[in-house]
């Protein structure tokens, strides 16, 4: 008699989620626990892990067949598993976060363009002031840097509102729905001066750290808008402050910063034309996101041992394969 498969679930799981996992692996022994509360043997004995564990726990892994991350991005510690566990399948949750994060991006952008952040500040002071001219997405040129699931969803939302959308991704190819043209990263500097909106939807890799540096921020169109929802390291925040104060960037929406949390007293907090949210556009704030990750995990469990697997990680790039 073979031993039952051990599944370790470190992400939250509602009753419905637990039912879905049990249906995907009816003979398995499933343990639910927070990563911070795991015993070493629970990590070592896991055949499948659903959710993330801490970086210092990775050396405790035994011989897992599948690691299903609950994050779309892949922390660099996990990329070392190719040497440590060459037979393990590593999948990220890319494909689960698009609706939630893209709607957050759109809400932030429209708030900036309609000056709602200024009116909200005025409300706190009981001030009745007309802040003047506003902007529209209709006819605006939107450049999405990182045209994966999240960037693609945002592109479709902007196109539906009448924007002209272009995208940048690692492998240029046919334009997805809502996108008029797709370019390689080498075209970024040529595209920035024409964009009314620049949206960064990038994981952290060697190629994306400070991809928006001082030089490129100064290439942005006067009075344009910048959004960042990928990783805070994609943006030179000191250079952003200069661009905001000079009016080069009319408004910025940051759901990610470097570092996180953004320290008290950091000058970004005091800038009028910036909206900062504490990395909340994704996670499980929208129930649909939570459901999508669990459903993906279940499909990948059923796909063992040979696949195909959703969200399979390319160890060389750190992206979804």
Residues marked active site are found at 231, 260, 279
Task: Round to whole Å and give the CA distance between 141 and 144.
Answer: 10
| Nearest residue to 150 (alpha-carbon basis) of 210, 113, 199 | 199
Beta strands in 75-214 (DSSP E): 89-91, 141-145, 164-168, 181-183, 197-200
Query: What are the CA-CA distances from residue 18 to residues 13, 127, 136, 150, 291 (Å)?
Result: 6, 51, 44, 27, 11
**127 DSSP 8-state letter:** -
Which residues, including other chains, have CB under 8 Å from residue 1's CB and lie 6 or more apart? Answer: none
Query: What are the CA-CA distances from residue 175 to residues 59, 155, 166, 226 (Å)?
Result: 41, 11, 9, 22
ω into 261 cis (within 30 of 0)? yes
Task: Round to whole Å and give the CA distance between 274 and 102.
Answer: 18
Burial tier of 271 (Cβ tally within 10 Å: 0-12, 13-18, 19+): middle
| Nearest residue to 31 (alpha-carbon basis) of 42, 20, 40 | 42
């Amino acid at each position: 008699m073979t031993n039952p498969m051990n599944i370790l679930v470190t992400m939250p799981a509602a009753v419905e989620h637990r039912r879905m996992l049990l249906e995907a692996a009816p003979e398995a022994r499933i343990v639910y626990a927070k990563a911070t509360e795991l015993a070493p043997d629970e990590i070592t004995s896991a055949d499948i892990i659903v959710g993330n564990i801490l970086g210092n726990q990775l050396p405790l892994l035994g011989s897992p067949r599948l690691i299903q991350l609950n994050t779309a991005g892949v922390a660099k510690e996990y990329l070392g598993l190719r040497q440590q566990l060459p037979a393990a399948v590593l999948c990220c949750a890319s494909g689960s976060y698009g609706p939630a994060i893209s709607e957050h991006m759109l809400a932030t952008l429209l708030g900036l363009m309609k000056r709602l952040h200024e009116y909200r500040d005025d409300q706190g002071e009981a001030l009745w002031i007309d802040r003047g001219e506003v902007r529209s997405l209709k006819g605006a040129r939107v450049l999405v840097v990182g045209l994966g699931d999240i960037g693609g969803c945002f592109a479709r939302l902007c196109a539906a509102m009448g924007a002209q959308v272009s995208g940048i991704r690692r492998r240029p190819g046919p334009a997805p729905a809502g996108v008029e043209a797709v370019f390689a990263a080498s075209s970024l500097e040529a595209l920035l001066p024409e964009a009314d909106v620049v949206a960064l939807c990038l994981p952290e890799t060697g190629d994306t750290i400070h991809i928006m540096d001082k030089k490129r921020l100064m290439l942005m169109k006067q009075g344009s808008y910048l959004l960042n929802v990928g990783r805070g390291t994609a943006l030179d925040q000191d250079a952003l402050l200069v661009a905001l104060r000079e009016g080069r960037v009319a408004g910025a929406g940051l759901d990610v910063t470097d570092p996180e949390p953004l320290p008290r007293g950091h000058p970004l907090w005091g800038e009028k034309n910036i909206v900062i949210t504490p990395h909340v556009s994704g996670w499980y704030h929208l129930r649909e996101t939570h459901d999508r990750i669990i459903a993906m995990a279940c499909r990948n469990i059923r796909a063992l041992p040979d696949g195909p697997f959703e969200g399979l990680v390319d160890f060389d790039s750190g992206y979804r394969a």
